[in-house]
């Protein structure tokens, strides 16, 4: 049976989510009744969605509403912003979401963690994962459509870097002293990924992303491409691209592959997609073998300008 991936051309992200879920039988067919659902957005630097850098909080809110209506017992919106002295409370629109009955907003940078070993790792032997992430029953990965100078793409698989601890705001003086992310090596804070790329090459960082996805599985993957980001400053300071696009599916690698193809990249040339299938993160990365519902890829494809590894800045964000 082919993995189903929904590709929706729609400027309204909330409507796009509803249309995409129809191809999968609705949220009721995906989320188990009574489940604790975590939504992991990409709130890079608390930037507005029109920049192409961050997920639209309205989409997160709609996913939360639909999950609760489908019978979820609780929804947790959880993120650990990686770059700058910015915390989750700085994200516009989150207060309204936190006031929804049955919804909690959690800053993962200040959560207690548990060491989790990676079985047969490609790159990283263990990650220090917030317990709130481990306690969720169902994870909705709400990613962005962006390029990245080291990972090549900043889509769903890389989005889980934000589920790891970064700089703690419980000690602001220490945060300022670090000037970046908490260095946790060989365990897995965010900084390990960029350190691996610098010290051992970008392929090692990409393998680490695969390792991370084996211990934090995504059950529903949504790529918010209403606005994407391209160019040498991506994934934070690149050029915003209005795509009016949303991609959704339950096979993380398949969704990642469709996102790559929509940005003009050949999924067959991206090694971490094949590794993701080999490690059980998803089932298929070859676009020709997917059941794509909604818009055709040829209708949405646009060649994105790649990011530039020489344009890295001091405060690398997720």
Residue 83 contacts residue 315 (beta carbons within 8 Å): yes
Q: In degrees, to the nearest 5, what angle opens at C-alpha 264 toward C-alphas 11 and 81?
A: 65
pLDDT for the residue numbered 184: 34
* CATH fold for domain 4-111+130-165+218-305: Rossmann fold (3.40.50)
Cα(75)–Cα(70) distance, integer angstroms: 11
Residues 6+ apart with CB under 8 A from 93: 57, 58, 61
3-state secondary structure of 72: coil
Q: Which residues contact 253 (CB under 8 A, 6 or more apart)?
A: 157, 273, 276, 277, 281, 282, 283, 284, 285
Could you tell me the two tokens for 131? 């317990």
What confidence score (pLDDT) does residue 87 get?
Answer: 76
Residue 233 tokens read as 């400053």
C-alpha span between 256 and 302 (Å, rounded): 16
Give the model's pLDDT for residue 90: 87
% residues pLDDT > 90 (the chain): 74
Q: pLDDT, tens digit, for every residue of 40-59?
A: 999 987 899 999 999 999 99
**pLDDT confidence of residue 311:** 64
pLDDT of amino acid 195: 79
* pLDDT of the residue at 198: 79
Over residues 182-214, the pLDDT tens digits come to: 333 333 467 788 778 878 888 999 999 999 999
Q: Note the pLDDT of residue 186.
A: 33
Under a CB-based contact definition with an 8 Å cutoff, are residues 248 and 147 in contact? Answer: no
Query: Which tokens hold the place of 280?
Result: 């059980």
Backbone angles phi, psi at 308, to 5 degrees: -125, 115
pTM value surpassing 0.85: yes
Cβ neighbours around 94 below 10 Å, total? 21
Which residues, listed in sequence order, are joined to residue 105 by a DSSP beta bridge?
A: 77
Take residue 155 and report the two structure tokens written for it. Answer: 């889509």
Mean pLDDT of the chain: 90
Place of tokens 């920049």: 51
Domain boundaries, the chain: 4-111+130-165+218-305
Task: Render each residue's pLDDT in the chain as its tens digit; 318 residues.
Answer: 899 999 999 999 999 999 999 999 999 999 999 999 999 999 987 899 999 999 999 999 999 999 999 999 999 999 988 765 677 888 988 999 999 999 999 999 888 889 999 999 999 999 989 999 999 999 999 999 999 998 999 999 999 999 997 755 555 565 555 444 433 333 346 778 877 887 888 899 999 999 999 999 999 999 999 999 999 989 988 999 999 999 999 999 999 999 999 999 999 999 999 999 999 999 999 999 999 999 999 999 999 999 987 665 444 444
- Pairing mode, if any, of strands 152-154 and 138-148? antiparallel
- Whether the Cβ atoms of residue 157 and residue 260 lie closer than 8 Å to each other: no
């Amino acid at each position: 049976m082919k993995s189903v991936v929904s590709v929706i051309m729609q400027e309204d992200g909330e409507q796009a989510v509803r249309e995409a879920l129809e191809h999968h039988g609705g949220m009721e067919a995906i989320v188990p009744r009574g489940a604790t659902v975590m939504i992991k957005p990409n709130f890079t630097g608390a930037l507005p969605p029109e920049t192409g850098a961050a997920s639209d909080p309205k989409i997160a809110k709609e996913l939360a509403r639909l999950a609760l209506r489908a019978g979820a017992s609780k929804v947790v919106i959880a993120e650990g912003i990686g770059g700058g002295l910015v915390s989750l409370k700085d994200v516009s629109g989150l207060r309204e979401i936190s006031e929804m009955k049955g919804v909690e907003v959690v800053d993962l940078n200040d959560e207690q963690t548990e060491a989790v070993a990676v079985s047969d790792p490609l790159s990283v032997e263990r990650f220090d994962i917030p317990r709130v992430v481990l306690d969720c029953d169902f994870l909705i990965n709400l990613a962005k459509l962006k390029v990245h100078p080291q990972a090549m793409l900043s889509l769903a698989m890389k989005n889980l870097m934000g589920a790891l601890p970064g700089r703690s705001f419980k000690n602001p003086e220490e945060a300022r002293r670090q000037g970046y992310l908490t260095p946790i090596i060989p365990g897995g804070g965010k900084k390990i990924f960029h350190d691996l790329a610098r010290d051992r090459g970008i392929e090692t960082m990409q393998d680490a992303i695969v390792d991370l996805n084996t211990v934090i599985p995504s059950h529903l993957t949504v790529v918010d491409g209403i606005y994407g980001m391209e160019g040498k400053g991506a994934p934070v300071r690149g050029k915003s691209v209005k795509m009016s696009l949303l991609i959704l599916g339950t096979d993380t690698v398949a969704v990642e592959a469709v996102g790559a193809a929509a940005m003009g990249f050949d999924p067959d040339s991206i090694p971490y997609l094949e590794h993701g299938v080999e490690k059980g993160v998803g089932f298929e990365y070859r676009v020709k073998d997917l059941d794509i519902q909604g818009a055709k890829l040829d209708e949405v494809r646009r060649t994105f300008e790649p990011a530039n590894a020489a344009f890295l800045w001091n405060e690398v964000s997720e």
